[in-house]
């Protein structure tokens, strides 16, 4: 892991917007952590795949913090940007924002850094294209 990302690698628009469904709720009335994690993996994979210009695989979750609960009827926005770039790998920081109360309230609910590796046709690491 070496280079810092360019400013243009940090989008201001969400990569994904999703709404949890009743089946995604746990016994506390909160959304399952595993559901959020999977949405983050999808959002991070979209950004990593764009930068890698091809297939990527998640190799590690460096950090994952559940800051506040996600509730039914929240709208979840996922923002993702390249935090570090290596030879074959990318660390992607993913932030999850919940919008609730009919759009009046926004809260940062989850944040994490996922590492993706660019893959070749043999499912082995491939050098990233030049930045
Ligand atoms: C991804 C995979 C091909 C990497 O293979 P590998 O033999 O570990 O490859 P390498 O040791 O050459 O490492 C490749 C890159 O990943 C990074 N990496 C490997 N393990 C890592 C870890 N645990 N945490 C962070 N980075 C890691 C290395 O630092 C290297 O980065 P760099 O080239 O930018 O320096 C292999 O681990 C794999 O197939 N894993 C399963 C992927 C998967 O199924 N994911 C879930 C579904 S997408």
Identify the sign of the CA torsion 105, 109, 113, 116.
negative
Query: What pLDDT is recorded for position 39?
Result: 98
Specify the ligand 1 atom closest to the Cα of 86.
34
What is the CA(106)–ligand 1 centre distance, in A?
A: 35
Specify the ligand 1 atom closest to the Cα of 56.
48
Query: What pLDDT is recorded for position 4?
Result: 42
CA 28 and chain centroid, separation: 24
- Structural domains of the chain sorted by starting position, each given as residue range(s) with its CATH number in brackets: 7-118 (3.10.129.10)
Cβ proximity of 53 and 92 under 8 Å: no
Q: Tens digit of pLDDT for each residue in 6-18?
A: 444 445 799 999 9
pLDDT above 70 coverage of the chain, percent = 92
Q: Whose CA is nearest to atom 19 of ligand 1?
A: 59
pLDDT (tens, 9 = 90+) of the chain, 131 residues, equals 445 444 444 457 999 999 999 999 999 999 999 999 999 999 999 999 999 999 999 999 999 999 999 999 999 999 999 999 999 999 999 999 999 998 999 999 999 999 999 999 999 999 999 98
What is the CA(4)–ligand 1 centre distance, in A?
A: 19
Please state, in angstroms and rounded to a whole number, the distance separating the CA atoms of residues 8 and 77. Answer: 20
Sequence length of the chain is 131
Which protein residues are within 6 Å of ligand 1, measured from CB? Answer: 1, 57-60, 86-89, 115, 117, 123-125
Cβ proximity of 66 and 90 under 8 Å: no
Q: What's the DSSP call for residue 101?
A: G
What is the CA(116)–ligand 1 centre distance, in A?
A: 7
Nearest one of 105, 43, 38, 40 to 71, comparing CA atoms: 105
Query: What pLDDT is recorded for position 11?
Result: 54
Q: Whose CA is nearest to atom 44 of ligand 1?
A: 57
Q: What's the DSSP call for residue 64?
A: E
Specify the ligand 1 atom closest to the Cα of 45.
48
Query: What pLDDT is recorded for position 12?
Result: 78
The whole-model pTM stands at 0.92
């Amino acid at each position: 892991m070496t280079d810092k990302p360019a400013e243009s690698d940090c989008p201001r628009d969400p990569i994904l917007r999703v709404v949890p469904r009743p089946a995604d709720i746990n016994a506390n009335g909160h959304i399952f952590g595993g559901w959020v994690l999977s949405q983050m993996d999808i959002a991070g994979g979209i950004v990593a795949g764009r930068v890698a210009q091809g297939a990527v695989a998640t190799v590690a979750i460096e950090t994952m913090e559940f800051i506040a609960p996600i509730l039914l009827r929240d709208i979840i926005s996922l923002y993702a940007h390249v935090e570090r770039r290596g030879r074959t790998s990318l660390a992607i920081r993913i932030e999850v924002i919940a919008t609730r109360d009919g759009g009046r309230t926004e809260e940062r609910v989850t944040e994490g850094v996922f590492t993706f590796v660019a893959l070749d046709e043999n499912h082995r690491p491939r050098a990233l294209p030049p930045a």
